[in-house]
Amino acid sequence: METSAVVVMLCVSFVAVFGNVRKKDLNRGMNELSESDYLQELPPKAKTAEKIHRFFLGGCAASIHPLWYARDKSNTRKKRLVKSRNSYYDVAFLIDASGSIKEKDFYNGIKALNILITKAKISTKYAVITFSEKGDIKSFFMWPPSKIRAVLKTTEYQGFRTNTQDALRKCRQGLFMNSSSGARRGSYKRVLIVTDGRSNIKNELTLYRAAKLKNYHIEIFVLAVGKYIQGIDELAELATSKQWHLFRVETMEGLIEVVKMIPPNRIRTKVVIT
Ligand SMILES: *[C@@H]1O[C@H](CO)[C@@H](O)[C@H](O)[C@H]1NC(C)=O
């Protein structure tokens, strides 16, 4: 046999053996920990803070935004930096005000969002929807952020069932698809859902409504709050991705600690308001 043939055979068997080992490892891992067990896992607070900072706030100049990266592989670090400086965000907060969340925790959640706003780019515009029996638009897109902080301070707890799909519908029709809602052309459009779990009014529509938003390149982020979350699979499906768009915290107090860990935004931006 020729040497080259031997080399080729060795290579092939090497790949076959190690390829299999890795696959086996993976399968074993999957058996030990099902997907939803994995989603229930609570990462350390600092890790969650970093994730929110990097992917939701897009605040870190060196961060590789997953969507840009996927779209444009020729992106250099410098190009990303410029893009990150010039980009601006329209963010809709969808806040669960249903009875499964305790009143005190609801207000702690509001407090956390108020802190989160102070860590984001000053050019960001925010809108607010709360949901329980139905979705309620509390505010259209507003600037400066201090205005939305005032809105959040007057946002009230409701304490009934969880109509997530209605909030998603109003978010699309009343906010992002509404030319007089204050949403800007060319902004990165994002939704942040703060919830403790599964929707229970017309919930067969929840993922459909979310998909409609995603069709318009609106990213959906989910802040899933609770030690063990009923319906975590639905939340994972709601989020644009499981890796970058789903954040887990154990309690609303914990969420306050997490957002406090996020470093302040230091990028100078050209403020774009139209
Ligand atoms: C669009 O936004 C305006 C606020 O500027 C609001 O009055 C109107 O009701 C919205 N339209 C829809 C369909 O929600």
Secondary structure of the chain as H, E, C letters: CCHHHHHHHHHHHHHHHHHHHHHHHHHHHHHHCCHHHHHHCCCCHHHHHHHHHHHHCCCCCCCCCHHHHHHCCCCCHHHHHHHHHHCCEEEEEEEECCCCCCHHHHHHHHHHHHHHHHHCCCCCEEEEEEECCCEEEEEEEECCHHHHHHHHHCCCCCCCCCCHHHHHHHHHHHHHCCCCCCCCCCCEEEEEEEECCCCCCCHHHHHHHHHHHHHCCCEEEEEEECCCCCCHHHHHHHCCCCCCCEEEECCHHHHHHHHHHCCCCCCCCCCCCC
* Ligand 1 centroid, distance to 197 Cα (angstroms): 29
Does 180 contact ligand 1 (Cβ within 6 A)?
yes
Indicate which residue's Cα is closest to atom 13 of ligand 1: 174
Does residue 58 have a pLDDT over 90?
no
Tell me what pLDDT residue 98 has: 96
Average pLDDT over every residue of 154-177: 97
24-28, 56-60, 225-229: least confident range? 24-28
Between the CA of residue 162 and those of 33, 109, 134, 233, what are the distances in Å?
29, 16, 8, 16
| Residues in CB range of 33: below 8 A, 6 or more apart | none
Pairing, β 89-96 against β 219-225: unpaired
Does 174 contact ligand 1 (Cβ within 6 A)?
yes
Which has more pLDDT, 87 or 224? 224
What's the distance, CA 12 to chain centroid? Answer: 42
Is the pTM of the predicted complex or chain greater than 0.85?
A: no
* Ligand 1 centroid, distance to 5 Cα (angstroms): 71
Out of 137, 181, 184, give the residue to mutate to test ligand 1, the one with the largest number of ligand atoms within 8 Å of its CB: 181
Tell me what pLDDT residue 79 has: 72
Q: Phi then psi for 85, rounded to 5 degrees?
A: -70, -40
Tell me what pLDDT residue 34 has: 79
Indicate which residue's Cα is closest to atom 2 of ligand 1: 181
Does 141 contact ligand 1 (Cβ within 6 A)?
no
What's the distance, CA 131 to chain centroid? Answer: 18
What's the distance, CA 186 to chain centroid? Answer: 20
Average pLDDT over every residue of 169-179: 97
Tens-place pLDDT, residues 102-120: 999 999 999 999 999 999 9
Which position has the token pair 């959040």?
A: 152
Does residue 188 have a pLDDT over 50?
yes
Report which of 255, 204, 213, 206 is spatially closest to residue 90, judged by C-alpha positions. 213
